[in-house]
Amino acid sequence: MENNRINDALDMINVERMNAVVAHIRAGIGRKIFMLTPQFPFMFIGIIDDVIDDVVVLEVETTHFQQLENRRWVIHIDQIEVFFIERDDAPLIPELKDLDSENRG
């Protein structure tokens, strides 16, 4: 019986955590976000276009691979390990450049 109460409490904590993360990302719609995921392509930088239930719709500007940039990605919020959203009172996400192409030219 005690284990059921502990499991119920942990489930409630996880739901509250997810709701808080979703609300935080939803408040960033229209802003630039930097996020890391454990799956390929691992890193995204782009503009938050929408949040639908527990997924974020992202207009991706930068990833590790140029071929995957300038596309709309739909990412499940549970898959985001780390994120940072630009705010008016916070540092900006720097522009990343392809140093290889600059050195070739």
- Going from N- to C-terminal start, the domains of the chain cover 2-88
Find all residues with CB under 8 Å of 85, minimum gap 6, and list them.
24, 25, 28, 31, 32, 33, 48
Mean pLDDT computed over 71-100: 89
Interatomic CA distance for residues 1 and 83, integer angstroms: 38
Which pLDDT score, from 0 to 100, does residue 2 have?
78
Tokens 């540092």 appear where? Answer: 91
Domain 2-88 listed as CATH 2.60.40.1260: no
pLDDT tens track for 3-48: 888 888 778 888 899 999 999 999 999 999 999 999 988 999 999 9
Alpha-carbon distance 103 to 94, whole Å? 20
The 10s digit of each residue's pLDDT in 53-71 is 999 999 999 998 889 999 9
* Beta strands 43-52; 55-62: pairing state: antiparallel
Assess whether pLDDT exceeds 50 at residue 104: no
